[in-house]
Structure 1
């Protein structure tokens, strides 16, 4: 049980770190080129195949066991044209654009 708790904690910290990075560099729909590169790099580091789709879409393919069933997971990566208020150290660095919609969190967890 202790090992599971440690893995859960590490995965949680990993997701928070990536969510904060994505949160700082939001991009509007269709303009997510830095986000695309960031996600692609993370998937490649995990050993996933990247399927050929037009950027800024990113599709990673994780091969499973033999069989005919497929599971697809999807996360939106775009931000909104909204000023972020507050004083967080990971606040949006792009004036007038923020992940007020939570897509940064969805992407980090996925």
Structure 2
């Protein structure tokens, strides 16, 4: 059964909104599945080769562009935040390792001559 452009774009919009909610809640485990689901919806839209004017009409009607840009901004912000946390973890690990190695170095001055 072939779905209409409107049905497909409504599903696409709902999926994108759910992705935004996952990003806000920082539930990254489910994000990959939703992104794949969204890609399948896009593939369905492309495969039927609908009239471009009709697709654009519903795209504008549902304000999908705004939702997509919001999702993109959130993804970029979360990616930067995660990179910053990883960098801090790396710096802390290096510092901890350096301080831990101080006590384990050879002690040549501790012996009586």
TM-score, structure 1 normalization: 0.28
TM-score scaled to structure 2, two decimals? 0.27
- Asked which structure has the greater CA Rg, the reply is 2
